[in-house]
Amino acid sequence: MTSPYPRYHDSHTRCLNGTWAFSFLGDVAEVEQFNPDSVVCNDTMSVPGVFDASPRYSGRRGVSLYRTYAEITPECESQLRLDGLGLWARIFVDGKPLGTHQLPYSGWHVRLPASSQSRRQIDILIDNRLCPQRTVLVEPYFDFYLYGGIYRGVWLREFNGPTIERIGVRVLDRQRGRLQVHVETMDEVPHDTPMTIGFDQHQPMLIEDGHWQGKTRTFEISVPDPRQWSPDNPQLHTLHAHLGEDHFTTRFGLRDIRVEGAQLLLNDEPLKLKGICRHEAHPQFGPALPDAQIVHDIQLLKSLGCNFVRGSHYPQDPRFLDLCDEHGLLVFEESIGWQPRVKHFENPEFVDRIVQQTREMIRSSFNHPSVILWGFLNEADTDAPSSRPVYERIVKAIREEDPTRPVTFATCKPFDDLNLDLADVISVNAYPGWYADMETTDVRPLEEIAPKLDAILAHLADNGLGDRPFILSEVGAGAIYGWHDPLRNHWSEGYQADLLETVLHKFREDHRITGLAIWQFCDGRTYANSQALARPRSFNNKGIFDEYRRPKLAVQVVAKG
Ligand code: ADA
């Protein structure tokens, strides 16, 4: 599996992906108190991988244990880096609990204490049961399947003296290649530790600016031979930092993104974003997609003529973002959420966790030039006054972490939303022609699409929001793969294609619409209770590809439009 950026080049970092020992423990009571040391693992599981997409455990909910052994230099501290997992996890090293993870899809960095032993036992307890206290960010009603397992790569990094934890690269002047670089280390660094920074193939420079302040150092520097990054010419730069023995590489692109009136400008040029919403999903792998599948998805996105992806509805796999950087796809990244309600806004635990996940997402994705928008809490009850302080708090946190990118959130309540003034870009999810006017007798209510979108845009303008960029962040129709109905009615590939053709026409012609993110890239598994009566097969069938990426008729329409 490819190692995403940042990359560590010292010989003390290794990938722990592979086959781990595994045991499905089922319904463990008081999982916080459970010590897995005595568990005998009688099975194996792939890492990355989700156990509940595997044939033996498909659909099972409960506690499971993933176990591996790692050789670590005796008396050496180390760090385990997991790029994403869910739904709830606890880590034990040599039987000792070291931390708990409650942010599905987020990365997790856990520090392992030194030991005199070289062979260390790593146990990760994963719980995929939905529990209001422990899995506060997710709910059983979500319209995407909530899997249990280790979704993304696992890396082990031994410390050998001063060690870099993170480098944030902020572009100050894209034409001159002027940067502000912010270095964070694991521990305080002795003042006399030399640090060099090199770009691409150029000679490293000794850094004399900025001083270590505890574990951080911030300074300005210029990239030699600066090259601009854009979707048409996605040129990237690498930054190599050497701190003592530590060698850390990150990658970035020289580009600006800003809002001016109703336009979204990339490198001073107005953007028209043609895109699609994508879940990290596959029936056999759940969200733990193999490299090959991610590469195939990028190829398919490019073949649609898209320049934009909405990473719905959670922080994205860093491998996907690396590829978006390389292929010039612009990304709307958002922290997790699916129709949060008043009970969530009133729950301080929920609010703290979503703020934490949003901050961590920004810190992790900061250097990706492809990411141009930060979002959060898809389709919340934003007509409720209790949403306001929560939205204010999240937006403030986003601006503190990153003052350079516009903030947005996808609302499905454009007529009643109390928080739209907080957004730099207005993103609206709307399904005219699908969740159509219930009074309509029209069997193919395509005629309502343009007027409904006009009504939304007019309402925004009347409420002083017409001078902000507008993204139609979801729109679509369900189609069952292979259902070619001569009547081209609901659920047929033909109806989906016709609906999207109508939407694409409106998008092309209406200068007020800056961006479009069709719902959705491919079909994906969803809930399986009686609500699934609106979700044939227990899949959300609004993909323009099916879950195996087989194209429906709409693919040609989208590629053309
Ligand atoms: C919502 C939601 C999506 C999906 C979609 C649908 O807009 O944001 O995740 O559930 O509806 O298919 O109805």
Cα(429) to centroid(ligand 1), Å: 8
If you average pLDDT over residues 278-294, what whole number do you get? Answer: 98
Q: What's the CA gap between 240 and 247, in Å, rounded?
A: 7
Across residues 138-157, what is the average pLDDT?
97
φ, ψ of residue 291 to 5 degrees: the values are: -50, -45
Q: Ligand 1: which atom is nearest the Cα of residue 435? A: 13
Instruction: Classify domain 164-254 by CATH architecture.
Output: Sandwich (2.60)
Q: Which residues contact 260 (CB under 8 A, 6 or more apart)?
A: none
Residue type for position 183: V
Claim: this prediction has a pTM higher than 0.95? yes
Instruction: At 500, list the tokens.
Output: 């999207």
Q: Which atom in ligand 1 lies closest to the alpha carbon of residue 410?
A: 8
Distance 476 CA to ligand 1 centre (A): 9
Work out the average pLDDT over 492-497: 98
Q: Where in the chain is the domain with CATH 2.60.120.260?
A: 7-159
Spatial CB neighbours of 106, under 8 Å, sequence gap ≥ 6: 84, 315, 357, 360, 361, 364
Closest atom of ligand 1 relative to the 476 alpha carbon = 12
Residue carrying the six token digits 């609906």: 499
Model confidence at 251: pLDDT above 90: yes
What ligand 1 atom has the least distance to the C-alpha of 313? 9
79, 207, 346, 358, 365 from 7: Cα distances, Å: 14, 20, 40, 23, 14
How far apart CA 155 and CA 26 sit, in angstroms, is 27
Q: What stretch of H or E contains 240?
A: strand 237-243
How many CB atoms are closer than 10 A to CB 308? Answer: 26
Probe residue for ligand 1, chosen from 519, 520, 527 as the CB with the greatest number of ligand atoms within 8 Å: 519
Residue 497 CA, ligand 1 centroid: distance in Å: 18
- pLDDT band of residue 439 (cuts 50, 70, 90) is confident
Ligand 1 binding pocket mutation candidate from 138, 145, 379 (most atoms within 8 A of CB): 379
Is residue 266 classed as helix, strand or coil in its secondary structure? strand
Lowest mean pLDDT among 5-9, 77-81, 168-172, 275-279: 5-9
For ligand 1, pick from 382, 472, 474, 541 the residue to mutate: most ligand atoms within 8 Å of CB.
474
CA-closest residue to ligand 1 atom 4: 143
Report the DSSP pairing between strands 330-334 and 371-375: parallel
Q: What count of other Cβ atoms lies within 10 Å of the Cβ of residue 113?
A: 11
Helices (H) and strands (E) in the chain, counts: 8, 34
Q: Is residue 118 over pLDDT 70?
A: yes
Q: List the residue whose alpha carbon is closest to atom 10 of ligand 1.
A: 143
DSSP for 339-384 reads: S--HHHHT-HHHHHHHHHHHHHHHHHHTT-TTEEEEE-STT--TTS
CATH 2.60.40.10 in the chain is located at: 164-254
pLDDT in tens, 265-274: 999 999 999 9
User: CATH topology for 258-560?
Assistant: TIM Barrel (3.20.20)
- The answer to whether 474 touches 334, Cβ cutoff 8 Å, is no
Mean pLDDT (whole number) for 495-505: 98
139 CA → ligand 1 middle, Å: 14
CA distance 554 to 560: 10
Gap between the Cα atoms of 283 and 292, Å rounded: 15
- What's the CA-to-centroid distance between 143 and ligand 1, angstroms? 7
Outline which parts of the chain fall under CATH 3.20.20.80: 258-560
User: Which one, of 181, 458, 91, 147, lies nearest residue 279 by Cα?
Assistant: 147
Percent helix, strand, coil in the chain, to 5, is: 20, 30, 45
Ligand 1 binding site (Cβ under 6 Å of any ligand atom) = 143, 338, 378-379, 412, 429, 474, 519, 540, 542
Inter-residue contact 266 to 257 (CB < 8 Å): yes
Distance 432 CA to ligand 1 centre (A): 13
Distance between alpha carbon 197 and the CA centroid of its chain, in Å?
A: 29
**Of 184, 185, 124, 126, the residue nearest 154 (C-alpha):** 124
User: Averaged over 267-284, what is the pLDDT?
Assistant: 98
Q: Which atom of ligand 1 is nearest to the CA of 474?
A: 7
In the prediction, which pLDDT does 561 show? Answer: 85
Q: Over pLDDT 70: what percentage of the chain?
A: 99
Mean pLDDT of 361-382: 98
Work out which ligand 1 atom sits closest to the CA atom of 542.
Answer: 12
Class of domain 7-159: mainly beta
To test ligand 1's pocket by mutation, which of 540, 541, 544 has the most ligand atoms within 8 angstroms of CB? Answer: 540
